Chain A
Amino acid sequence: MGHNNNSNNSNNNRSNRNQTAWISPLSSPPQGNVYTNIPNSTTYTFGSNNSNPNNSNNNNSNNKHSPLTSATDRLTKMDIEEKWDNKTYEKDEREKSPVFHISTSNFNSFGNLKVPGSFSLFNKDENNKPHLPTIPQDQPLKEQPEQTTSNNKPHVSLLHAHSTYQPSNVKEHITSPIYEQHQLSTKEIEHQKKLQEQHTSSATTSTTTSSATSPTKSQQSLQQAQQQQAQQPRVNTFFLPPPQNARERLKEFKQIRVIGTGTFGKVYLIQNTKDGSFYAMKCLSKAYVVQLKQVEHLNSEKSILSSIHHPFIVNLYQAFQDEKKLYLLFEYVAGGEVFTHLRKSMKFSNSTAKFYAAEIVLALEFLHKQNIVYRDLKPENLLIDNEGHIKITDFGFAKRVEDRTFTLCGTPEYLAPEIIQSRGHGKAVDWWALGILIFEMLAGYPPFYDDDTFAIYNKILAGRITFPLGFDVDAKDLIKRLLTADRTRRLGALRDGAQDVKNHRWFSDINWERLYQRKDPGPFIPSIKHEGDSSNFELYEEENMVDDPPSPNYVDPYANFFKDF
């Protein structure tokens, strides 16, 4: 796409903003609430012959274009439309007060609008990620033992099954069976994938729904096709461009308390003063980042998180900076760290550990498909949301890597042998770390541990693992295959990648489709008494999130490092 090469970040991000989540099917927002700020956006669909590109361009409905040409047609149209939309958006923004149109807390995890102001336990805004609604009866899902809904009655969203939210204002069309199954040819799917991948880096979306009457048939089937293929790379449609004024933006939030010390900064629980929704804000001091030589890592974290989207990865909403600090605005996951719960309960049961491990497998599969290696898997970086699902956080070490990278990073107990030996490492390190994680969840302590850090490395390289009694036999086998120093034997690092791990007999009772769609709640629902409840997080030393502005003639010495932040 021509204008993708335009390195004007804000331009691309703005076009992103204009497209509301592709699952939002409403033609017009419900009355009398903040949704009125949502600007009009257009529907973009690809890879199909019969879609309505947008409201004003209704001429091609019956044209049997090849998917390729109709898609490119739409690309050019999008080019034009977006520029037009950008102008209106800019005008809007100047006129209105700086309230961002997507108050993301108004969507629950599945992108369905929730009733604002409700404090139902399941209408948490922690899980604000859109999710593909699927029409179960059309989907060729795997055999599911318990089908809670009968086949005639479509249920709205898979996760809603566990929500108290009654989706009365969700239009019928989303559940209506009038959309016949439209099987996309592999070529169309491929093209769709390719287009999405093009957009991934610049965070523009390729599939969006609009506030037009309904998602078009092809779009639905596209989503289904996407579902059928395990986890297509999905762009982060909720990522907002940086605010005009960082300080003004920060003033919109009230600092509640410190809920974490990330690797190189602090994480705060904050509340949006306008609509009461909660978020997590990660703040890092620029000076500190430069001093610790983490500039590249931080830019990588922001660039990766702003472009990906996954049910088991924490969502980044915005990234900006002021004179002295960097800010990353995340969804708030109220259930706390797996680390805390693991230490409290000493160890997890086989089924609990299996559930969490399986969700992580899906997330790793997703990341690796996009050549992203995560490199910091450990219980401290896993959060539990209100429905008991995993959210991977802290992408400070994640990196897009074609095959090898050399910077050593990670956490000592979780380092793979090849990292210690400075031989260059790749995606395989994440699978090693998964082995360590599964062991630690089941045993309560990591397999290679010592008070002396260097002794840990000795043990890792020696590779002797002692399993406690009563360890599940299949889990033991999986761990051994993951904790293999030889990368040509390590499960997950072979030709079939994550599929080998998914096929392991420890995971034989996991239904991966169901898991991905979050159909079943997690084995442990954390106690969350109200939306902003932070009792699952440990207490830390308090600190002000926002400092006083420096003197007017202060020049940011690090501005150059964070140009693209």
Chain B
Amino acid sequence: MTNITHHNQKATEKVENNSPTQNQQYMSSNITRKRRGAISSEPLGDQPATPLPLIPKTAETQKRLEQALSKNIMFNHLEEEERNTIYSAMDEALYKAGDIIIKQGDEGDLFYVVDKGICDIYVSTNGSTPTLVMEVFEGGSFGELALIYGSPRAATVIARTDVRLWALNGSTYRRILMDQTIRKRRLYEEFLEKVSILRHIDKYERVSLADALEPCSFHDGEVIVRQGEPGDKFYIIVDGKVKVTQETTPGDPSTTQVVSELKSSDYFGEIALLTNRPRAATVTSVGNTKCVEMDRQRFNRILGPCENILRRNIETYSQYINKISASPTLASQKI
């Protein structure tokens, strides 16, 4: 449990050492010869639905937290909404100079970000007197292990000066992530239910698909798919609007017509799941949009070829096969 910068250093150290030396190092270390114990966080299933702490942050604080946690592996994979919920759940903790914030060996469930002040980290190995191993300045953090599971603290942290910290409870963090993941997945499943080309997948397949959708976002005016270009990806709109336009004479921009406008829960580009034939229209983002995408190769890895899924129902199958083989210039064609 050390400052995040310390971790990053270790992780990026190039381990060039191959065969015997590394093995010897590993084998000679006492820790490695011991059987490794397992770890576990509490099962989250039966938790009573206590409301999450909600402590609104000023814009400035928000920015500082963003900066502090941008490289933290426990936060950089989160989406903006999740991050904001987490920031709101962080509680202020004040300590005077000389206070012990964390003691080595204690049960620990809190993760701290230093807002103001300096903290010192001491580690005592095998009962020896604690030695200073690291200092944590503004923007630094400690106690990450609590986010993953509650475990005895690996070090003692003492405030060198008066400090102002933001504390996040590990179980709160996990709950936020779990809630968000479940909520998003349900949303995607609902979206997927509406996609007619995927009408005949079963629940388990839909869930696997929902899990594999990748979020993507577009700014105003950005072209998502372009008419005439080969297509690999299928999109569902989560948030925002898009404009579908088509050149009735391909290659002649003056014949551009607006075909339709799509909004949240609408989808486009699903033919890409079957084939990469050229896109039938252009889709442009109106304002900022958030979508989720899936490409054909990924789809095939998870569910097998889309064609096989279509074959489950001969009507749907012929409908789509005809669509593909028909001319792509009709305005009513799906993209």
Contacts and interface: CB of A to CB of B under 8 A. Distances in A.
Contacts of B173: 422
Contacts of B100: none
A429 to B, nearest CB: 13
B154 to A, nearest CB: 7
B41 A452 contact: no
A101 interface: no
A409 B174 CA distance: 13
A454 B207 CA distance: 31
A422 B10 contact: no
Contact of B43 (A293, A347, A457): A293
Contacts of A337: 35
Interface stretch (A117-125, A191-199, A353-361, A464-472): A464-472
Interface stretch (B15-23, B231-239, B243-251, B284-292): B15-23
Interface residues of B, number: 58
B1 interface: yes
B148 interface: yes
Interface string A383-419: 0000000000000110000111011111111000000
A422 B42 CA distance: 13
A458 B5 CA distance: 12
Given A293-B42, A411-B37, A424-B181, A458 B7 contact: yes
A411 to B, nearest CB: 5
B38 A402 contact: no
Contact of B303 (A406, A462, A495): A495
Given A450-B10, A458-B8, A495 B39 contact: no
Given A408-B39, A409-B40, A444 B11 contact: no
A454 B145 contact: yes
Contacts of A403: 204, 207-208, 211
Contact of A411 (B15, B36, B302): B36
Contacts of A487: 211-212
A66 interface: no
A422 B27 contact: no
A494 B304 CA distance: 9
Given A403-B204, A452-B154, A459 B11 contact: yes
A555 B29 CA distance: 47
A421 interface: yes
Nearest to A496: B304
A87 interface: no
A444 B178 contact: no
Interface in A444-486: 444-445, 449-455, 457-459, 461-462, 464, 466-470
B49 interface: no
B158 to A, nearest CB: 20
A61 B148 CA distance: 62
Contact of B148 (A296, A420, A449): A420
A453 B182 CA distance: 28
Interface residues of A, number: 59
B44 A407 contact: yes
Contacts of B211: 403-404, 487
B35 A380 contact: yes
A462 B320 CA distance: 42
Contact of B38 (A339, A409, A420, A454): A409
Given A378-B36, A380-B36, A488-B212, A453 B41 contact: no
Interface in B41-93: 41-46, 73-74, 77
A503 to B, nearest CB: 14
A64 interface: no
B169 interface: no
A69 B77 CA distance: 55
Given A406-B44, A455-B10, A445 B26 contact: yes
Contact of A461 (B1, B35, B73, B182): B73
Nearest to A399: B43
Between B1, B12, B144, B301, the greatest number of chain A beta carbons within 10 A of the residue's beta carbon is seen for B301
A265 B177 CA distance: 31
Contacts of A347: 23
B191 interface: no
A257 B307 CA distance: 61
Nearest to B205: A495
A411 B39 contact: yes
Given A449-B26, A494-B302, A468 B18 contact: yes
A424 B36 contact: no
B238 to A, nearest CB: 18
B56 to A, nearest CB: 24
Contacts of B325: none
Contacts of A449: 26, 32
A468 B23 contact: yes
Contacts of A468: 18-19, 22-23
A547 B101 CA distance: 41
A296 B207 CA distance: 25
Contacts of A514: none
B14 to A, nearest CB: 9
B39 A457 contact: no
A443 interface: yes
Given A406-B174, A408-B149, A444-B23, A263 B38 contact: yes
Interface string A333-367: 00001010001001100000000000000000000
A396 B23 contact: no
Given A411-B38, A469-B19, A296 B26 contact: no
A376 interface: yes
Interface string A220-262: 0000000000000000000000000000000000000000010
Interface string A487-507: 111000011000000000000
B314 interface: no
A128 B302 CA distance: 39
A485 to B, nearest CB: 10
A408 B39 CA distance: 8
A175 interface: no
B141 to A, nearest CB: 11
Contacts of B182: 404, 424
A549 B220 CA distance: 74
B22 A339 contact: no
Contacts of A457: 73, 148
Contacts of A380: 35-36
B301 A494 contact: yes
B10 A445 contact: no
B41 A407 contact: yes
Contacts of B151: 453
22 contacts: A296-B43, A337-B35, A343-B27, A380-B35, A403-B204, A403-B211, A404-B207, A407-B43, A408-B149, A421-B177, A422-B178, A444-B27, A449-B32, A451-B29, A453-B145, A454-B144, A457-B73, A458-B8, A466-B16, A466-B18, A468-B23, A494-B301
Kindly list the 8 A-B residue pairs having the minimum CB-CB distance in the complex, ordered from nearest. A409-B40, A445-B26, A458-B11, A468-B19, A408-B41, A293-B42, A422-B177, A407-B43
Given A296-B46, A409-B40, 12 more contacts: A293-B43, A296-B43, A380-B36, A403-B208, A409-B38, A409-B41, A410-B40, A444-B27, A452-B10, A453-B145, A454-B144, A466-B18
